[in-house]
Amino acid sequence: MAALAVPIFVELALAMLMGNVDTLMLSQFSDKAVAAVGIANQVIFLLIVMFGFIVTGTTVLMSQALGAGNKQRANEIAAISLAANLAIGLLLSGIVFLFQEQILALMNVTGQVAADASSYLVFVGSFMFIQAILVTISAILRSHSFTKDAMYANIGMNVIGIVLNYIVLFEPFGLPSYGVAGVAIATTVSRVLGLIALIVLMKKRIKEPMGLMKVFKMPKEHLQELLRIGLPAAGEQIAYNMSQFVIIFFITTYMGTLFVTTRIYAFNLMNFIMLGSIALAQATQILIARHVGAKEYDDAYKRCMDSLKLSILTAIVTAVGFSFVAEPLLSIFTDDETIIRNATVLIYLAIILEPGRAFNIMIITSLRAVNDLKFPLIMGIISMWGIGVVVAYVLGVHFALGLVGIWIAYILDEWFRGIAMLFRWRGRSWLYALQNRP
């Protein structure tokens, strides 16, 4: 477990650190620039989900195939995944390039924040096909247990990104400052270099040819299986991101830019709290899928339950630790006392929120690994919208509790779904389906 989880944790931490470095550097200019990039990234996160569903299917199906000792099937799935995500990435990049202004208008973003967000989307969102291939290759390497390779590539990519950010923002050698647009260009250039590194590593590690040039002659069943696993996962993530769009609309419409920025700073810290749970869940998913491929179903059940206990403990300890240093960490990003005070309260609430999120992250990824796909989607839509969005409006807007009301809505949503997922896993309906499949 540690051999898989630790490199995944480092890779995720570096990717998240890069986002925070962008925020930190931009905060030296203005909180509005931070708000612009935060809003633009909300759009980009939704796009990542759109090709992320192929990545989810890739990880599960390749791990199952490798667990069953079928390397040819694993390589065919890898080839189809790369081709599919390239096509999806190109399509989404074109949509962002053509319609980024309309997208921001739907989010009720105006003024300088809208101008900066639009600039960021042009230079980052229009090149999302690079990110699509990058995360697909990372998934392929992880499925083969080469998690350190993806980690090293991300280290290099993040170091380059930081250096480029410094160059475009802080006017070294007499160069002009390029602001948000410069950060966007730096992000895209670093991703291109990271992609080149991952391609080299993939060719070095995976000796058997994938047959990329013969991808259209491969069994259609592989793509159908990728979609069967990935689409419900994508549906769940889209439902989540769309619910966040609505909540951001509440904040921008009824609360203002200051509260948007506060939410972004609080989320930046909370993302680090989640890292341990996410890394454990992704490592657990690979192991459970391999157990399923080898028909070791009892081991698969036990692996999830053991990992869940560790994930909850990790979430609690990390959230409590961050609560002690919330104010000094936030003061690195901004000197606005109102933002620091309000965001600190939200970090305190994360002590309650994050254990519930750990339930969801761990068990949902485990359910995907055993092909139980519809329940997380249906329960997610019911809870995220029926509890998350509704309670966010009622408490945050109607009763004027602001971001505290919205965080309470997050807590209720995560815990409701988490407990529902636990009952689903312990009920073992997925086990009966696996034992009875052809």
pLDDT tens column, 93-105: 998 888 888 888 8
For residues 426-437, one letter each, b for 16 or more C-beta atoms within 10 angstroms of the residue's C-beta and e for the rest, the string is eeeebbeebeee
Per-residue model confidence as pLDDT tens digits over 207-221: 766 666 666 666 777
Mean pLDDT for the chain overall: 85
Helix and strand counts by DSSP (H, E) for the chain:
16, 0
**At 107, phi and psi to the nearest 5?**
-85, 5
- pLDDT score, position 24: 66
Instruction: Please tell me the least confidently modeled range out of 74-78, 180-184, 415-419.
Output: 180-184
Mean pLDDT of 126-146: 87
> What are the structural domain ranges in the chain?
1-225, 255-438
Mean pLDDT of 4-8: 77
Per-residue model confidence as pLDDT tens digits over 341-400: 999 999 999 999 999 999 999 999 999 989 888 899 999 999 999 999 999 999 999 998
Q: Which of 71, 66, 19, 438 is nearest to 267 (CA)?
A: 19
For residues 96-116, one letter each, b for 16 or more C-beta atoms within 10 angstroms of the residue's C-beta and e for the rest, the string is beeebeebbeebebeeebbbb
SS3 209: coil
Instruction: Provide the percentage of residues in the chain whose pLDDT is more than 70.
Output: 91
Is the entire prediction scored with pTM above 0.85?
no
